[in-house]
Structure 1
Amino acid sequence: MGVAAAFGAVLFTVTSATGAQAAGRLYGGNWTTDDVKIRKGPSTGTAIVEHAYKEDGAVVKCWVNGEGVYGNTTWWYVSDTSSGKGLWGYTSDYYFNVANGKPPKC
């Protein structure tokens, strides 16, 4: 079953990430250029809570305009294609790119 069939819509797979090593130094963790950094909001101390490798089938499903955190107001929903489980978090285009352009609003 393909990704689109599994979710019933075209999704936007993670294709690359930039600034990953800088993010690793700033926030800890062993990042690679295929990581997606997702951070929680202010009440959690902006901790990175999950990272997804493009080989793992991570997809950026959609986005919303959310609470601003350090200048970031776009919140993304990143999902795993095999489990279907996802995570909301804020980041910016500096950290990742997706195939097929920007995902739709949620």
Structure 2
Amino acid sequence: MIDTTEYKAAPGLTDDLIGRHVIIRSNYAGVHAGTLTAVGPGGKVRLSASRRLWYWWAAQGHTLTGVALHGLKADKSKIAGALDDIVILDACEIIPTTAQAQASIEEAPTYEP
């Protein structure tokens, strides 16, 4: 059975994350990292200076939490170039990053197949 309930964030739940560098895990659009500029109902988020983490390898650990804390192993990751603005319609996780992780993501080379 499919749950079709639309869940809404509690007012103020993500207010302190606006303007911060975050990693977004979405159901269908993959993983993105950038500055959170807006959060809407139903998992809608907007990022500026966003990079898609198409294939990522944590510098420490093996989860996105490891990426958010310690950054990437750039030589093992495939990171897209930065977009000025993106709206993701199905975010299921918003993870704030450390300054170290932000620098690692922003400085990772753009993957060119």
TM-score (norm 1): 0.28
Q: Which has the higher helix share?
A: 2
More strand by share: 1
Q: From the CA coordinates, give the structure whose radius of gyration is larger.
A: 2
